[in-house]
Structure 1
Amino acid sequence: MRRLAFVSLLSLAVVGTADAKGQPSLRAALPADHTEGLRRGGFMLVHGYRHADRFPLTLIGTAEGTVSGRRTSVPLTFVRDTLDGSILLITKTWPDGGAWVLNIGGGYDSTRMYAGIVIGVNPQGVPVLVQNPRGAMGGTRQASRREVAQLLAHLNGDRAEAPGMVSGPWRVLFTGPGALLWLFVALPVLYVISVVQRTRRGRGLKTATA
């Protein structure tokens, strides 16, 4: 019954995670043969998609939790579960006890992470939450340190609601293409200001010598 409830939770969680304008996306699920998955040290599966088709992605990530009262970050290990590499098995590398947040990013290589997914694990070791943090451009991303801390507080019962993990529209103005736009706008403006200032100084000198 518990497993069926979790599968239903996952089905709801991945709705709406389709690619935004062709960007890759990540989905999480339990292995079809859960017993075999556990035997192999697997915790969950992560599926890579692009244009709604399975797509091999490079994954990186960490398990974030608290051990002996101290915040701990454990690198995640992924094992290929299909020949094309579109499905990867998350092996359990973090210790038992306490809540954990699996913060995962996916992309074409380890330097270009265009997709993200977050899995919340309660203190009993059961995955109870799956979210795809949204960026300002509409694609998914990894969670920020603040969002991870808020989610850990929620899983430990210290926070009533899980964080929304949606970047505000303002973020696009200061990151990625938005930052370049500011640069292209700012340079001509600074040039015009410098020309005006030089012109005024020149006029001031002519007036002083007249």
Structure 2
Amino acid sequence: MKAASSSVLKAIAAVRPMDYPTLLAGMGEKDRANLERQLLAYEAKAGESAAQRWRRLACTLRSLAPGRLKIAPASVMQFYIADGKYHQQVFALQALADGGFVVVAPNVLPAAFGAGVVGRPRPGQAGVYPVGRSAESLAIESLDGSTPNLDAYCRDMTGWNRKAIRIALPPAASDAQVKAAEQLCALAATTWRGS
């Protein structure tokens, strides 16, 4: 298990997020304008630091899933990879009005425990996962096809027996919390990128 964890951690560390201008350059004119408009509105509501975290997460997810990118209403981005002649949604990012974020990714919690990205929830704290060996934590909810009231932007990630996780980042998310969310996504990406 130690060797597997080591190779997973190396794969996670190898991820190099693209910069924001590169993200924009890879988009069509309409999507780029839509995204910029949403980001300006979000920055006005939530502040510059929240907008910077949003850019960071968007660039990381786009680097991990270089296929189709869909800009949806309500400050949502959906990230896809090629799946034969089709596209498979692998991530979603929603910017919340309070400055927080929701990241939806494939469920890699068992591997994340083994790699030390997050720890198992403490007794009486279901859904709250310690971040690595720090005192900080992340709220993570497991999703599947039977999850009630699932948001439309992540519904495609739970069909066909697929399972996902919804990671809630608070408005004042620390660097460790954002990094843990990025690492969970990078860990998920090892299944289509190779480790």
- What TM-score do you get using the length of structure 2 for normalisation? 0.33
Higher RCO, 1 or 2 (CA under 8 Å, sep at least 6)?
2
The structure with the larger Rg is: 1
Higher strand share: 1
- Structure with the largest fraction of helix: 2
